[in-house]
Chain A
Amino acid sequence: MRNNYDSVVPQPIADLPWRLITLVLLIGGFGITILYSAAGGSAEPWAWSHAVRFCMFMAMAIFLSHLRQEHWQFFAYPVYVATLLGLAGVEALGQINGGSQRWLNLGFMQIQPSEIMKPALILALAKFYDGLPSGELRKLVAIWPALLLIGLPAALVVIQPDLGTTLALVAGGIVVMFLAGLPLRYFIGGLIALAAFIPLAFTFLLEDYQRNRVLTFLNPENDPLGTGYHITQSKIAIGSGGFFGKGFLNGTQSHLAYLPEGHTDFVFATMAEEFGMIGGLALIAGFALLIRWGIRVGQRSKTTFARLTAVGLSFTIFFYVAVNLMMVMGFAPVVGIPLPLVSHGGSAMMTVMICIGILMSLDRENRIPR
């Protein structure tokens, strides 16, 4: 579809997916509003920096949207390998400095390779399945390289240890494999294996603090002042907001600091306290529209690479939002995943904006015939 307004609006501007951009702006703007309130009605220290970062990454996404599918195909493996090396580098640095490290300092900015890995893994897997002839799909060669592609970064991330990102990588990867057309029995078998594996992993693989989070999640009232505190306070914030909320700047849980991490992981609770269920439904609907748009991009795409990339990236965004909201509402353990575009903090926003940028680029190819 090509916009033919033929008016004062220059063609490159008119060609931008304005409905999508408006949606993203709305979500980001809501985030800025919430952060303004979380700081007690002040642009400092969060709202302003969030706005600046948002604009920066939005510009970046629009820039990315002008790249072509060939570029993504071409860069898929190199970016994957570079990010994998980055992850290994972070791990090595962590070993040297002692303790866990997730950041790589490039001098001018800090980069979290595990975040970049989320889109990079999707691209690499899409590229792999794109190159795989349809006839090979039922053979072993369709599986082990993909598992390797997922397993390497996942292993590096899980030893950081960063359970949330590991789950995001594995889930995103498996969804791509599922969409690629692998036989269904693998996934059913995998699910059964997972069910058997979880108790074992819980006992032997998780760190103490991670185990505590899971236990607390299962019964937050057990430890209302320790690890259960987060979940309980979050539920208090959401629950006391009611349907219409307490009103902008009127939240007490956030302003009196009862809600921990009210500007990052628990920003949804901060929002829900002041804007109530209305605000919550609006935000959920916004993200649903965004994700649905991403999946539609995939469904309209012509190549396997574009299809898998689009739905895989949408799923990455979905994973962020879903796990964060489940955590905030007491459906999932506290794993430390922020709400993209809304939580203060750059890395998740960067990842999601990269995803959106790539999606816009694929969308452009669907809409604008070359």
Chain B
Amino acid sequence: MIWKRKHGAQPLSVSDSMRQTMFSRRSVLVNGAQLGVAGLLAARMGWIAIAENERWELLAESNRVQLSLIPPRRGWIVDREGRPIAMNRSDFRVDLIPDRVQERDRVINTLAELLSLPEDEVLRIRTELDNVPGAQPVQVKAGLEWEEFAAVNVRLDELPGVSPLQGFSRYYPAAAAVGHLVGYVGAPSREQYLEEDSNPLLLFPGFKVGKDGLEKTFEQRLRGEPGARRAEVTARGQLVRELETRPDKPGDPVRLTIDAGLQEFVGRRLGNESGSAVVMNCQTGEVLAMASMPCFDPNSFSDGISHPEYNMLTEDERVPLRNKTLLGMYPPGSTFKPVTALATLAAGVDPEEIVYCGGGYTLGNRRFGCLGVHGPMNLHRAIARSCNTYFYSMGRRVGIRRIAWAARKLGLGAEYDIPFPNQNYGTVPDDRWIQRRHDREWTDSDTLNTSIGQGYLLVTPLQQAVLSARIASGRAVVPRMVAGDNRPAPPIEGVDPEHLARIRAGMDEVVNGAGTAPRARLGLDDVRLGGKTGTAQVVNLSAGRGGMGVPWRYRDHGLFVSFAPVDGPQYACAVVVEHGMSGGRAASPVAKDAMLYMFDRERALENLATLEDGWGGDIRQRMAREEAAYRAANGLEPLPSLPRVEVPESDTSQDAGPGEDPTRPPPAVVAPAPDAPAPPAGTPASTDGAAAATTPSAPASPPAAEPSGGET
């Protein structure tokens, strides 16, 4: 009996029959409750399996199928002939996927042993494992040797959570010589990741994006589209089978107007100077070389640069991290005189009119000096001898507006449409500018300073190249970096070609006659180079010009603008050597050799070899030595594998291979022969590293250019 109270008076004791009835009722109750539970369970199952079926099915599928990205191979950057400037080569790496790691300490210790990881790297891996969300891989080591990679692969079964990957890394055969041109790639920053709406590709281990220069500008074009691999995996991450694979779509190549050989030559030719050089086709504006030295090695930037190496670069007073061709601004000095000459001619002044140079020009009670006492000067001789007095006099006569007009006609003060994140456009001052900027009247002494390229004038090396090209061709060339359009630029409007011809004659005289740049003579029978030297004061020293006697950073800049051949100009070249003391001494030989490369490559390379012997090796060797010295000076242990430093110069150049760390890129081939089979433009080969090696070196490549073919 269940509900005893219903019976009113409670019986004191229970009879046997009551007990049996109670059992019957209560057992029915128990059974009913059990059936209720059964019904509840059935309903619950229906809820999960039918009502929520879709949700759980999705989860089961995402359990079962592992979707992994195949990162796209980055498009190549090639030169005008299709020779690689930036390419890919295979790279072995090992990552840890925190979610899947079991027995963390054992796994890390095994890896440390297999890959000979240093203590601080082990520490870094541990810290990252603690801080990184579970599915995001943590890099253990990149750039593995094949043996190390194989050793990890063999023991994969006992290393849960370890993910070995064969990927690609960026490789720049010409290393530092193209650093500022192409920029570099690196792991995406958090900002970049968020900017791209958390694109999972950016989290892929070892995936790099363009960080600077062309690599950054052409990022979307070079990147390509990732592929995907669907695979069935067990809970422990073991692969059961591949389901389907969508291959990656490699990035498009970018073909530049650059001549890779010339680019590297120019980079090397600048030597230990802090300088920049720009060579362009003066008819079309195609930039053939654009080098700013010294430069970082984009290879080490792309692999992740070490702290000491980075500190060394930032502390260098030659600012290796600054692209001086676009960002460096200099007073043009006497290289501006052709501009003043154009203004003079455009004003209708007779070029044969004589200005007598007695060593200077007097304006009121102020004397503006000349570097010499040149005597009677006409326009031609004034350019050749770089006579200040003539240009003071003519500049003052034609006025600042005309000078500024000529400067702008010749491409100064302008920003160009080139694929770089930053460029400066300098200053072409005039009366309106000074009113706006300095809130004062323009004075005659401002005009005088401007006529000889001092004062407020500021130009970049790229603008200097445009200036040379426009004088040389009479065409309104603008610099172009991407190959494709090689039509000549239209003539400069409003400028009389006759005037430019007169200026060119003067610039011919500068080099090949009684001028200021005899060092720039090409020494060829049929090709002459015309140019104009310039020396820009860095500080106004009481001692006069900043020459040998003052500290390096106060010395004058040397500038040179040039074109060749004088008869029928094809190329224009501008060189700036910071603190080079004078344009004729420091800058003009570089321009000469760059031009020589275009007309007589063999001799240019011979010259370079001799010079590099004197400097102590090619760029790579000198940079390695600088780094070793820097590490020694800062109490850091030397890198395990540096090129031998003590070896006699002539030997070092022969001997880049044996002492060098095998993980470092092989020495680049300097000058591919003109008939070298160029790799197909922008086809990212899988055996990238070898591609450079198959290019036969030029017959006259200097000894430093050890062909990498012998390397394994």
Contact = CB atoms under 8 A, between A and B. Distances in A.
B59 interface: yes
Contact of B13 (A134, A256, A257, A322): A134
A184 to B, nearest CB: 6
Interface string B12-40: 11111011001110110011001101101
B63 A318 contact: no
Interface residues of A, number: 54
A280 B50 contact: no
A175 B56 CA distance: 37
A187 to B, nearest CB: 10
Interface string A88-107: 00000000000000000000
Given A239-B49, A242-B49, A175 B30 contact: yes
B641 interface: no
A134 B15 contact: yes
Contact of B22 (A181, A241, A329): A181
Interface string B330-357: 0000000000000000000000000000
A181 B23 CA distance: 7
A299 B234 contact: no
Nearest to B37: A322
Contacts of B235: 256-258
A280 B61 CA distance: 21
B244 interface: no
B517 to A, nearest CB: 74
A134 B27 contact: no
Contacts of A284: 38, 41-42, 45
A178 B240 contact: no
Nearest to A329: B44
A243 B50 contact: yes
B49 A315 contact: no
Contact of B16 (A134, A288, A311): A134
Secondary structure of the B contact surface, majority rule: helix
A134 B14 contact: yes
B30 to A, nearest CB: 6
Most chain A Cβ neighbours within 10 Å, of B13, B41, B42? B41
Contacts of B45: 238, 272, 277, 280-281, 284, 329
B297 interface: no
A342 to B, nearest CB: 15
A287 B35 CA distance: 11
Interface in A165-214: 175, 178-181, 183-184
Contacts of B53: 239-240, 242-243
A72 B47 CA distance: 43
B34 to A, nearest CB: 5
Nearest to A183: B4
A339 to B, nearest CB: 12
B41 A326 contact: yes
A311 B34 CA distance: 12
Contacts of A138: 12-14
Interface in B40-96: 40-42, 44-46, 48-50, 52-53, 55-57, 59-61, 63-64
B24 A238 contact: no
Nearest to B45: A280
B63 A276 contact: no
A331 interface: yes
Contacts of B48: 235, 238-239, 329-330
Given A239-B49, A298-B27, A307-B27, 7 more contacts: A235-B48, A239-B59, A242-B49, A253-B64, A256-B240, A291-B31, A322-B38
12 contacts: A134-B13, A175-B30, A181-B14, A236-B60, A238-B56, A239-B53, A256-B234, A258-B60, A287-B38, A288-B34, A315-B34, A326-B41
